[in-house]
Amino acid sequence: MPSTPIWDRDIDRYTPAKLNEKLSIYSGESIETIESMTFRKMQKNVPSNWLDVEAITPMILSIGIHGRSRNNFGLQYCPYCLGENPYFRKHWRFAFYTYCDRHSFQLLDACQYCEEKIIPHKSERVDLCWSCNRSLSLIRPNDTNFLSLRRNQLLTVSSEGVVGCNLSIDFSTTNFLRNIRNLIKVIVEVDGGELTSSLKGKKLQYELLRVDARRKITKILEEVMAEWPVSFHKYMVGNNVTQRKFERSVFDEFIMREIDKLPVGRKVYRAYNPVVYTQELRNLKRRSKSQYRVDRANLLLKDCNGG
């Protein structure tokens, strides 16, 4: 589509109506079909403001758009699925989705040969690496990613992007995602120290982690939720997590009841630090540092005494 910018945005998250119309014309698909390929159809299943976040959408991998390039490893894939039908599935964008249910294969987030990020629009075919031009659907000899899939995983997602949970607790999908994401935030803060190397100075956030790191975090989450609430307390107490760790997050009542049983934690009181560095003191500091210290100390004492 000439003169129509398309690859400088995350089209999985958002496509304007005019762009959908053009895509429909050029592809021959209906606008409804085009929209069903994006996360907008999931709006009713996620917290109302999640897909409106401009930077990083919770639970959706960040691809790190930089013009037509990508800064993050936010597009993952199953080589077997690409070999059978070469297109990138919507549910591969979920940060917690690290295994292919169909092939019992750990997803990859880079080319197996050159370790470059996946940028399909830069290659001749979507199943080719844009950097080394090798097939993404070929499995390297002695590949260790082929594992028997762990059954009864906590988090599930269908090919249509419907998220589910293998817990007996009854709560809506929207609250489920919010609760899970907030628990993941705590786990990343507790166990994320060894994961910072994969971010190269970026913010330690679940949606920015490489697939191996997210797989570890997701496994810990499953262990925390496996035998609720015993497993929850075992992990939190074992890592000295207090209620203060959860203060800025919103949880359902059944989780809050367990959080309230944790140690309260120490509250940090930030003392008032009066600003006494006036222009007059700045000038005095250049002339006489000793007199500057005396005058500044007198101002501090005067402020503390309410004078």
pLDDT tens, the chain, 307 aa long: 556 677 777 888 777 788 888 888 888 888 888 888 887 766 656 665 666 655 678 888 988 888 888 889 999 999 999 999 999 998 899 898 888 888 888 899 999 999 999 999 898 899 999 999 999 988 765 555 555 444 456 677 766 666 666 665 655 555 778 888 899 999 988 887 666 555 555 667 889 999 999 988 988 988 898 888 899 999 999 999 999 999 888 888 889 999 999 999 876 666 656 566 677 888 888 888 888 888 888 887 876 666 5
Q: How far apart are CA 33 and CA 30, in angstroms?
A: 5
Q: How far apart are CA 217 and CA 230, in angstroms?
A: 19
| pLDDT value of position 75 | 93
Kindly list the domain boundaries of the chain, sorted by start residue: 155-260
Cα radius of gyration (the chain): 25
pLDDT digit string (tens) for 123-143?
889 999 999 999 998 876 555
Q: How far apart are CA 178 and CA 133, in angstroms?
A: 39
Q: Which residues, 6 or more positions from 270, have their beta carbon under 8 angstroms from its beta carbon?
A: none
**DSSP state string for 249-293:** S---HHHHHHHTTS---PPPP---------HHHHHHHHH-HHHHH
